[in-house]
Every structure is written in C-alpha cells, then in structure tokens.
Chain A
Amino acid sequence: MSQRSDSTGDEISIDALDVPLGSEIEARLRAQLLDCPDLAFAHLTQVTVAGQPGGSQPSLFVWLLPEGVASLRSALNLVSEAVARALSEDTYLDVLILNSAPELLRPVADTGAPFVVRDDAEWQRAIEAADVADDGTEPEQRPRFRWW
C-alpha cells in the first residue's frame, strides 16, 4: 500500500484491488488493452481517498507511448473503447494517465505486477527513470508534463 497526503492533508492510498473485477472481465480487459496501439503498459489498482463515501474505486493507470502522448485525445479514446468493450454497462473504472505524474509510477508499481505490458522496453525505461527521479524532489518542482 502506498499512502500520500496532499496539501489539504487528505490521505490518498493506491493499493492492489481489494475485490478483483473477476477473472472473465479481467481477461477481456487485458485482451482489449493489448490491442491499444498507443498503450505501453497499465496497472489495475484501487485508489482510495480517505473519508469519502465511495472513495475507494478501481482505477486503471495507463502509461502511453510517446506517439500516444502526442495525440492524447485519440489515444485516450482507444483506451476508453477497450475499457467499454470489457466492462459491463454499470461498471466504472477510473482511467488515470501516469505520464503526467511519473512520480506515481513507483507507488503504483509497488501494488503489484503491471496488468498489461505491451512494450516491455518502455516499461523498463519508465520504471528506471521513475526510480532515478525519486530523489526527494517535490512534484511541483519537477518539469510540467506537456499535455499538448
């Protein structure tokens, strides 16, 4: 479990899923995500905001390849399509981009093995870079992600 406190003192934790989505759904989701061309890897976790009703939800952290970051809208649409095909109508999964907050990669990775790895070299590169960057620098002092 990884716990973080933000500037307002709210505690956020990133953990392995308490209740799995189910082997059939997870197999379907994995297969669909493996077909997303701009996806490098993804982690299926549970993000909890302390003290919030319904504050604990399954969340899919995705790391996009550089070409996916360059066309973020289209890359996210493909991920959304993959999730929608795998999940039932009434099941929701928060999809969160890891590229914009690489400092989250280590805590996310510590919850367990990646759910999907499409590009092993990118996975290795990203995790090594995250560990090197984890030098105590405050996130707000790190370079901003170029959303576009």
Chain B
Amino acid sequence: MEIERVDEGDATIVIVRGVIKLGESASTFSGFLHQVLNEGRSPVLVDLEGIDHVDSTGLGELVGYLQRFEEQGRRLAFINPARRLRKLFELTRLDEVVPIYDDRDEAIASLSAS
C-alpha cells in the first residue's frame, strides 16, 4: 500500500493505493488519518482511486476515523472510488455517513461551502 498527501488550499487529500490490510499498512493509514485529524485542517478527502478491494481492516479504520472527525465537527469525504467500490459502499449504506464524490474539485467546493 502507498499513501501520498497533498494539501490544496484548506483541504488535505490523502491518496491511497493498494489494499489497506491488517498490520503495517493499516497502521500507516491510521497514522496518516491521525496526523491530519490533529492538524485541524478541513476538509480531509480520502482519494480511493487506487483502491480495488474493501478489506475489513481498511473499512474499520475508515469508520473509526469518521467517528473522530464527526466528534470534532470536521469534514471527511471519499473521492474517486472505482465504480464497483462506490456501489459496494452504497449497497451497505456507508454513503449515508460519509459523502462520496467523483471529483476532487467538486468535493472541495461542496465541503468548503457547507
């Protein structure tokens, strides 16, 4: 798994590629989210374009951090998921608690305005 961070205006984009699995990759992913949560920047966009599979560890980390972001009144969203991944999120209704956008600029505009 690879993670890259890009700051764009007030937004932080966390670009994830590969599979977030139990162990080192989950710790790294969690560490990234922890860092951006503590920095206080908002919104935070997790770019899922390079993710093909929903490993339950990755799902658990995402849900865990969604809760923390919400508790702090911060905005977290997913961007660019592959169509299949997006459908799976919709199927299991994860999209009810986290906004999902197909486009980074649309996400930044929408979340910065709200």
Q: Smallest distance from the beta carbon of B112 to chain A beta carbons, Å?
A: 24
Whether, in the assembled complex, B3 has its beta carbon less than 8 Å from a beta carbon of chain A, the answer is no
- Classify chain B: how many residues form its interface, as a range: 20 to 34
Interface magnitude class on chain A? 35 or more
> B1 near A: Cβ within 8 Å?
no
Give 1 or 0 for each of A60-78: 1 = CB within 8 Å of chain B CB.
0010000000001111110
Give Cα distance in the complex from A148 to B19, angstroms: 24
Chain A interface main SS type: mixed
Residue B6 lies at the interface, judged by CB distance under 8 Å to chain A: no
A3: Cβ under 8 A from any B Cβ: no
Q: B93 touches which one: A54, A55, A139 (CB < 8 A)?
A: A139
B99 at the interface (CB under 8 A from A): no
A120 contacts the other chain (CB 8 A):
no
Q: Is the CB of B21 within 8 A of A84?
A: yes
Q: Which A residues lie within 8 Å of B53 (CB)?
A: 57, 92-94
Interface of chain B: mostly helix, strand, loop or mixed: helix
How many Å lie between the Cα of A88 and that of B22 in the bound state? 14
Q: Whose C-beta in chain B lies nearest to the C-beta of A82?
A: B56
B41 to chain A, nearest CB (A): 22
Interchain nearest-CB distance for A19 vs B (Å): 17
Question: What residues of chain B lie closer than 8 Å to A92, measured between beta carbons?
Answer: 19, 52-53, 55
Closest to A48 in B: B84
Chain B 51-87 interface mask (CB, 8 Å, partner A; 1/0): 0111111011101101100000000000000011001
On whether the beta carbons of A73 and B60 are closer than 8 Å, the reply is yes
Closest to A139 in B: B93
B91 with A12: CB separation less than 8 A: yes
* Cα distance A17–B20 in the bound complex, in angstroms: 24
CB atoms of A147 and B66 under 8 A apart = yes
Q: Flag if B87 contacts A6 (CB, 8 Å).
A: yes
- The residue in chain A whose Cβ has the minimal distance to the Cβ of B94 is A100
User: In the complex, which residues of chain A have a beta carbon less than 8 angstroms from the beta carbon of B52?
Assistant: 54, 92
B56 touches A144 (CB 8 A): no
Asked if A49 and B87 sit within 8 Å, CB to CB, the answer is yes
20 contacts between A and B (CB under 8 A): A4-B91, A6-B91, A10-B83, A49-B83, A54-B52, A57-B53, A73-B64, A76-B56, A77-B22, A77-B60, A80-B56, A80-B57, A92-B53, A94-B53, A95-B54, A100-B93, A104-B92, A147-B63, A147-B67, A148-B63
